[in-house]
Amino acid sequence: MARDLALNSLGFAKPASETRVLVAMSGGVDSSVVAAELAGQGYDVIGVTLQLYDHGAALAKKGACCAGRDIHDARRVAEELGFPHYVLDYENTFREAVIDEFADAYLAGATPVPCIRCNERVKFRDLLETARELEADCMATGHYIQRRMGPQGAELHMAADPARDQSYFLFSTTAKQLDYLRFPLGHLRSKSETRALAAKHGLSVADKPDSQDICFVPNGNYAAVIEKLRPGAADPGEIVDMDGNVLGRHRGVIHYTIGQRRGLGIGGLADPLYVVRLDPESRRVVVGPKEALRARRVPVREINWLGDAPFDSRDEWTLSVRIRSTRPPSEAVVRPTGPTSAEVELLNAEEGVSPGQACVFYESGGSRVFGGGWIWRAD
């Protein structure tokens, strides 16, 4: 009779040496520490880095993931620790699944979040399938989020460090994917702990700065990228108030986002005005007072639900929701209008609700992530 083996740190009833784990390595300190910790525990580690765009053009650019310098850094860490490392060319996939939608969303007057689509459509779909083909037992990433086992299976929870929590960007992780994924850094209380682990392992990236920009948007200049992808996208138009009165001219709808106050070029007014709506068809930027930004009802679709009971098994759910990555969750009532759509009623109206942003669901007063969806209209 075989003896029962205790679960290893990744949740498998076998020795670490017999457990293969694919580590998604961006070249930064977080994923490098994950690889180092797992290799140090004796796991059969395989490192994989995705080449997502022309790294030749990005070679000298610091602070963006998956560029040439980062591929070099990931490979170097693997060499230092003695495990195999592969670079996969995902440029075409990344452009079709992420960059093209990013450009088209801006042209439609939305404010997209490409990092979510990258996790959803590239890292947690295509790369995860690669991990299975390599016969890995699981895939580990350097994301700051926690995976916990509950009565119904794996659950998604916010990171222990609220300042590093990445749950907003991972809401579309499905239950099937969550069963296969591991997030070894989610329990850490601060980034300094991560860097201390990097130093302990002698990693060359221990002091490497965090990336700040969207990887394919140098210096945060969205408009320049969109103009390059979609020539003619920056056609000028009118800035109008909420009654349609023309107040000025703008240099292209793609240069503006909901809630923007600076850079409108409208002077001589007693009260400040904010962008409250973008109308790409008429090439109009609609501005109004700050109170016009306040929204209480938020229509959401493409919902990924991570609750134990079916989403539309109730008339309503009392949850906390986050409508921007930079804001804390706030109380709301979520009313399903179908299996993957809902109307979210915010108990306290919020400013700057924008189509294209995510609305992420959380356990009210707790850490569990119940999924979320995409805001498609601002009421």
Q: Which of 65, 66, 115, 215 is catalytic?
A: 215
Q: Which of 65, 66, 115, 118 is catalytic?
A: 118
275, 287 contact by CB (below 8 A) = yes
74, 26 contact by CB (below 8 A) = yes
Rounded to whole angstroms, the Cα distance separating 10 from 367 reads: 21
344, 359 contact by CB (below 8 A) = yes
Residue 225, CA distances (Å) to 83, 99, 262 in order? 37, 10, 21
Rounded to whole angstroms, the Cα distance separating 358 from 341 reads: 13
Active site residue 215: yes
Which residue in the block uniquely carries the two structure tokens 């700050």? 290
Active site residue 118: yes
Residues noted as catalytic: 118, 215
